[in-house]
């Protein structure tokens, strides 16, 4: 098997009901509903090799989640060819389902009022995992994610970061070969984000798992993905090395600083391009290669209380890529 995932000309349309506002509109939609077709995916094509970890990015409504749901068999495509591990996903073959997992950062598969271990036991039965393998997998996953002491704590008492790590345990207890991750770090604090990233990276390397990751968090991509696919309005805009994308469309970094007073504030433009100046906050855009030097000059010459260096938002990269229409 030279390719774990094959997508060729994938089209997905949804029929939705249009409703006019107000009570009258509600009655009209009941009596004579007006339908329209929404084209969520418009001929999407790409392939992923076994063991690849690929970032799948785009703005809200671009078609990311629809693609992942189609690849995992939750949605039936309108047209096109899709193959995952040489299976047709929408046939929901038990052997296929035992080899994949879909983790959605905004969805919860854990039972809210029960300890997470209860969900893990249920998944053991669903996936028909031998007891010995289950115990070994559980021990390894909980240790890697640092949640072994929380197994018997009701899910509702866990923090968001702890719940997300438990979600990963539930999704990986059967050791899937293909992992679809939809915003796995959404809403997590910096420490929790890094723990999840480290785990995904280690899992990918250790088990040669194929991972397709969607995220609005630039840190996820920088730390994990060597290749990215950009989708917008249901169409692929870019498919290539993440490093090339950064070099082409993210040539600046953002420096955010909090100042203690307004001394020399007029000289900030010598450091970089001022994007926002509202004392005590200042936001500068500086060339990527000069970010460290610019931050040092800022600290030495201005009354800085706090300073961070950040990547430009993914949405801005997508806008630049969309305007330039790069070759795929």
Buried b (16+ CB within 10 A) or exposed e, 255-293: bebebeeeeebeebeebbeeeeeeeeebbbbbeeeebee
The CA dihedral of 193, 206, 240, 249, to the nearest 10 degrees, is: 30
- Bridge partners of residue 256, in order along the sequence: 283, 308
* Residue 33 banded pLDDT, cuts 50, 70, 90: confident
For 252-311, the fitting CATH number among 3.50.50.100, 3.30.70.260, 3.90.550.10, 3.10.129.10 is 3.30.70.260
* Across 14-18, 200-204, 276-280, least confident range: 14-18
d(CA 64, CA 68): 6
Structure tokens at 52: 């690849």
Judged by DSSP in three states, 27 sits in helix
Judged by DSSP in three states, 145 sits in coil
- Report the chain's C-alpha Rg in angstroms: 23
Residue 326 pLDDT greater than 60, yes or no: no
d(CA 38, CA 41): 9
| Residues carrying CATH 3.40.50.300, the chain | 5-13+42-247
| Residues carrying CATH 3.30.70.260, the chain | 252-311
- Asked if the peptide bond before residue 4 counts as cis, ω within 30 degrees of 0, the response is no
Q: In what order do the strands lie in the sheet containing 252-259?
A: 273-278, 281-287, 252-259, 304-311
Tell me which residue of 180, 194, 152 sits closest to 73, measured CA to CA: 180
Q: What is the pLDDT of residues 142-192, one digit of tens each?
A: 998 889 999 999 999 998 888 988 999 999 999 999 999 998 888 778 888
Bigger pLDDT: 135 vs 219: 135
- Tell me the backbone φ, ψ of residue 59, rounded to 5 degrees: -70, 170
54 sits in which H/E element: strand 53-57
* Across 98-112, 203-217, 249-263, 272-286, least confident range: 98-112
Mean pLDDT computed over 72-92: 96
**Predicted local distance difference test score (pLDDT) of residue 325:** 54
Bigger pLDDT: 243 vs 68: 68
Residue 56 pLDDT greater than 90, yes or no: yes
Tell me which residue of 110, 114, 111, 108 sits closest to 152, measured CA to CA: 114
Task: Tell me if 176 sits within 8 A of 149, measured CB to CB.
Answer: no
167 sits in which H/E element: helix 160-172
Residue 309 pLDDT greater than 90, yes or no: yes
Taking each helix axis from N to C end, the angle separating 131-144 and 190-207, rounded to the nearest 10 degrees, works out to 140
**Predicted local distance difference test score (pLDDT) of residue 25:** 67
Residue carrying the six token digits 């669903």: 126
Mean confidence (pLDDT) of the chain: 89
Judged by DSSP in three states, 135 sits in helix
Structure tokens at 135: 């115990």
8-state DSSP, 260: S
Residue carrying the six token digits 């040489």: 86
Bigger pLDDT: 316 vs 230: 230
d(CA 13, CA 110): 31
311 sits in which H/E element: strand 304-311
In words, the CATH class of domain 5-13+42-247 is: alpha beta
8-state DSSP, 313: P
């Amino acid at each position: 098997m030279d390719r774990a995932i094959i997508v060729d000309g994938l089209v997905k349309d949804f029929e939705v009901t249009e409703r006019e506002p107000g009570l009258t509109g509600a009655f009209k939609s009941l009596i004579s509903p007006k339908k329209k077709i929404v084209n969520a995916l418009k001929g999407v094509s790409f392939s992923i090799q076994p063991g690849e970890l690929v970032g799948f990015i785009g703005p809200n409504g671009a078609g990311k989640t629809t693609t992942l749901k189609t690849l995992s068999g939750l949605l039936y495509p309108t047209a096109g060819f899709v193959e995952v591990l040489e299976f047709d996903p929408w046939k929901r073959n038990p052997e296929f389902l035992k080899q994949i997992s879909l983790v959605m950062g905004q969805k919860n598969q854990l039972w809210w009022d029960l300890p997470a271990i209860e969900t893990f036991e249920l998944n053991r039965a669903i996936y028909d995992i031998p007891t010995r393998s289950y115990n070994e997998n559980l021990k390894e996953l909980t240790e890697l994610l640092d949640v072994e002491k929380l197994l018997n704590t009701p899910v509702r008492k866990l923090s968001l970061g702890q719940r997300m790590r438990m979600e990963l345990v539930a999704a990986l207890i059967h050791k899937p070969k293909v992992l679809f991750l939809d915003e796995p770090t959404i809403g997590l604090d910096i420490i929790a984000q890094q723990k999840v990233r480290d785990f995904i990276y280690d899992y990918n390397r250790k088990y040669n798992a194929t991972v397709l990751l969607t995220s609005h968090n630039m840190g996820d991509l920088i730390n994990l993905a060597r290749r990215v696919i950009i989708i917008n309005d249901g169409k692929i805009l870019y498919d290539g090395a993440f490093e090339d994308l950064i070099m082409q469309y993210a040539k600046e970094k953002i420096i955010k600083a909090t100042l203690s007073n307004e001394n020399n504030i007029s000289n900030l433009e010598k450091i970089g391009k001022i994007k926002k100046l509202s004392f005590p906050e200042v936001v500068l855009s500086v060339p990527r290669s000069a970010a460290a030097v610019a931050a040092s000059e800022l600290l030495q010459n201005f009354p800085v209380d706090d300073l961070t260096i950040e990547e430009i938002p993914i949405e801005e990269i997508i806008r630049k890529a969309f305007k330039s229409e790069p070759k795929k």
